[in-house]
Amino acid sequence: MPEADRAVLALERQSWPGPGAKERAVRERLGITPTRYYQLLNALLDDPRALAHDPVTVNRLRRLRDERRARR
């Protein structure tokens, strides 16, 4: 699994103190826009390597994604 993918999952494991903190960290640590970050993250949720690397985070995010989709 590429280091960039691991960095995305590591950011997602953290809790954030307030609005904008996560987006600021995405720009500073990863050097990408929040929009690109969420595109990458969504793709990672369907990647078996991501699930093998961090099953707790990936399964939590899959559940949240499925709940949002069900509400639509």
SS3 per residue for the chain? CCHHHHHHHHHHHCCCCCCCHHHHHHHHHHCCCHHHHHHHHHHHCCCHHHHHHCHHHHHHHHHHHHHHHHHC
pLDDT at 18 over 90: no
pLDDT digits (tens, 9 = 90+) for 28-68: 999 999 999 999 999 999 999 999 999 999 999 999 999 99
Rounded-to-integer distance, Cα 69 and Cα 72, Å: 5
Q: pLDDT tier at 19 (50, 70, 90 boundaries)?
A: confident
